[in-house]
Amino acid sequence: MVLFVGGKKFHFLGEKDCEHNLEKSIHKGLASFSTGPNNNLRELEEVQISSSDEILYVHKNEMAVAKCTSADIDDTLPRYAGASEMTFQLLVILSTSRGFSIGHLDRSGHDLIKDFFDASLATLSKKNGDEYIDLHMVGGFDDDRGLSEKLTRRIIGYLMGSNQTFLLKTYFCLDMNDQLIGDKIHAPVHRAMVFDIKMRSVKPASITPAAWGPLLVLRNASLYALSETPHMSNILDPLSHRLCFKPFMIHWKKMVELAQLASKAKARLALYSKTPQQESDHFYNLLRRTSGLVGYMLVSGNDFFEGRNLELSLDVTKKQWTPLNPQTESAKKHQLALNY
């Protein structure tokens, strides 16, 4: 891999070399680059987003890839793509003249990281590889368990083996995004970030729960699905820009466990987070909503999919994501699947 940081080229020749250079050249070195990547997101005003038609929102372990030009914005795509409620998770964005990809990575497994980059580069990179790929990495903080650092290292480690050339445009991770609360608890400065698709830039954001959809509770439930092979959930058709959610299955024992959470105390729900001290009330509220949905699915046998994908497209006139088949129409009307 070749990675350009602030106009300076870094070559990572092996995993050991990557581990040393990551700390030296990226974590600590970025502040010294006067022409370096944007690592001053603390100083930027937050983008305010309050409706799901304003954003292509990616939940944990979701990703989206889009072939697009500036003409597609406000036509088949909203102005922004992004995520919120991030603690140790990272938002990774790739951008070329052909389009962009965005991934909300919350696990450090090699297969998941590979899945994101493989799917992204298959659409965004030229066959001869003769193009720089803009890279944006944001999120994480100085957590006690080192989850953010491990995830960051795994991502850089994977990039190391790529035959592509990346230009680091934004890097706001770990200690850069860290603050102390009450001089005791480390927490992220910004939990929500967006990619301005038109301007091709990353900005901090404030994203209300009403903008986390469509079908936000159903999508959150998919985090607990069975999977033979770990993979990212790719939610967007790269050409038509339709949202597409595939059927998933949760083991019945896990469904019973989840269904019982709605009535449990916050301390019990905290066990479902790797960073419970840093979670907002939204995390616990959404987990309770997910519990209610899974309980309904368990009793009724209704998985909302009926053997088909749920698909929606952006209707700029109505300012909403519009269902494209009867199954999606039904799911979108169901209060448990839709509402926060």
In the predicted structure, residue 14 carries a pLDDT above the cut 90 = no
- The residue that leads in pLDDT, 233 or 40, is 233
pTM for the full model? 0.91
CATH of 2-338, one of 3.30.43.10, 3.30.2090.10, 3.30.1330.200, 2.60.40.420: 3.30.1330.200
What pLDDT shows up at residue 40? Answer: 72
Averaged over 185-211, what is the pLDDT?
Answer: 95
Averaged over 249-255, what is the pLDDT?
Answer: 95
What pLDDT shows up at residue 4? Answer: 62
Averaged over 116-136, what is the pLDDT?
Answer: 86
Question: Average model confidence (pLDDT) for the chain?
Answer: 87
Query: Could you state, in order of their start, the residue ranges of all structural domains in the chain?
Result: 2-338
In the predicted structure, residue 129 carries a pLDDT above the cut 80 = no
Per-residue pLDDT tens over the stretch 56-105: 999 999 999 999 876 677 689 999 999 999 999 999 999 998 999 999 99
Among 9-13, 164-168, 214-218, the least confident range: 9-13
In the predicted structure, residue 194 carries a pLDDT above the cut 80 = yes
- Band (230; pLDDT cuts 50, 70, 90): confident
Per-residue pLDDT tens over the stretch 16-59: 555 455 545 555 544 454 445 566 788 889 999 999 999 999 99
What pLDDT shows up at residue 35? Answer: 47
- Three-class HEC string of the chain: CEEEECCEEEECCCHHHHHHHHHHHHHCCHHHCCCCCECCHHHCCCEEECCHHHEEECCCCEEEEEECCHHHECCCECCEEEECCCCCCEEEEEEECCEEEEEEECCCCHHHHHHHHHHHHHHHCCCCCCCEEEEEEEECCCCCCCHHHHHHHHHHHHHHCCCCEEEEEEEEEHHHHEEEECCCEEEECCCCEEEECCCCEEEEEEECHHHCCCCHHHHHHHHHCCCCCCCCEECECCCCCCEEECCCCCCHHHHHHHHCHHHCCHHHHHHHCCCHHHCCHHHHHHHHHHHHHHHHHHHHCCCCCCCCCEEEEEECCCCEEEECCHHHHHHHHCHHHHCC
